[in-house]
Amino acid sequence: MSTRHPLVEAREALQQGTLTARELLDRHLSIMEKTEPDVRAMVTMTVDMARQQADEADRRLRAGESAPLLGIPVVVKDLIDVEGIPTTAGSRVLVGNVPGASAPAWLALKAAGAVLLGKANTHEFAYGGTTEPTRNPWDLSRMVGGSSGGPAAALAAGFCLGALGSDTAGSIRIPANLCGVAGLKPTRGTVSTEGVIPLSPTLDVVGPMARHAADLIPLFMALVPGSADQLNTSGHLDQLKVGLLSVDGPSDPSAREAVDRVVATLRLAGACVVPVHVDGLPESLGANFTIMGYEAAQYHRQFEDRRDLYTPYVRDRLSEAAAVTSAQYEDARSFAEVLTARVDGLLAEVDVILMRGVAFPAPPAYDPWVLIDGEWRDRDTELCRNTAFANLTGHPVVAVPAMEDAGLPMGIQLVGQRGSDLTLIAVAGELQDRLPGVYP
């Protein structure tokens, strides 16, 4: 049973004076120096800034100050603006783009005392699921998923204790599952997306990532001041009614085993687990891709004169997206409203929904196909199959590492009522404490 909460434990050591922020930073920079050439999680390093921030954190700690992230090293996805630091969105299209102001999401972490190590890699404009050339710390021949693959890999490799990612069809949860870390897709509208390069404004959310679900709590509280009011005692596992959601589509046996282990753990803890179903889940992926494509095509029209600078993958996706009609877009928006009502209805009957995450372990890098149950399937479709619905409905979802299979992590998802983010994280943290440790 794992009770390792790296971020929370570092906070305690900093507050007790048994560790300095500069020592903590140097420890992580040393790990990064040794392994970043292989993992390639980072796009831009901010070492000098980080040292200044760590020294300031130590000054504040000596003065007896306390803040949720004071002295904690973090990275942010290279879609999120930090004043004076390039935001490239992983693309040659934005080379030389240096924002003059910071995104509110980063400013919130900065105000809470976070120490910024740099910008982590993203799939180009977040429009894909591979985040090349970043590699999975568990197995460098494997992909990290996307589009928040850089932050996930940085966490799994031990570069940092927290991260900011974004999620449009699963972009926090997919790499979290594949890299064996935790990530929250918050309730839509809870965390500001201002100052973040958009993929699909209707679906985009910004959220925290960490090595353990319990470590998401201080990150979320920093992002959403006053959110402590959300937390209530109904989050304890022995008081929960959990809906085990059936999902269509193929899955690796390890994905089914991960869910089975979580169910057994929940029942052993005293939770009531019941089977549930939501009509329309298979159609949610198409609706998500329709909305995403339509809005991405609108945004990227401004870069038409730089078309040759896109990677072929994203250029082709944008060409396909340009064919989405306004009628198809409105139909998808209407479907999202119906699906939202259905999930709301289910969450009036159960406290939390448990479901599969990514239905297979991290596949080989650069392979556009994935082998599931003896059948080759389109990788990008299968990555998002179990995640895209929640961007349509706006519900909070936590990706939780659940087990290790043949040297690769497997995870699950927990879905909560809209606005219950902090309680959902607490549930996820207690659950992960009861599961075997999953760390690279």
> Which are the catalytic amino acids?
77, 147, 171
Contact in structure between 366 and 146 (CB atoms under 8 Å) = no
d(CA 378, CA 178): 17
Cα 351-356-358 angle, rounded to 5 deg:
140
Contact of 201 with 193, CB cutoff 8 Å: yes
Cβ neighbours around 264 below 10 Å, total: 11
CA distance 350 to 87: 41
Cis peptide before 234 (omega within 30 of 0): no
Report the distance separating Cα 89 and Cα 125, nearest Å: 5
Amino acid identity at 17: G
Alpha helices in 157-306 (DSSP H): 173-179, 216-223, 253-268, 281-300
- The Cβ of residue 369 has, within 10 Å, a number of other Cβ atoms equal to 14
**Cα 430 from Cα 270, distance rounded (Å):** 13
Beta strands 272-276 and 241-245 are parallel
- Beta carbons of 410 and 404 less than 8 angstroms apart: yes
Total residues belonging to the chain: 440
Nearest one of 48, 53, 52, 65 to 14, comparing CA atoms: 65
d(CA 48, CA 60): 19
Q: Quick one: how far is CA 340 from the chain centroid? A: 21
Count other C-beta atoms under 10 Å from residue 62's C-beta.
10
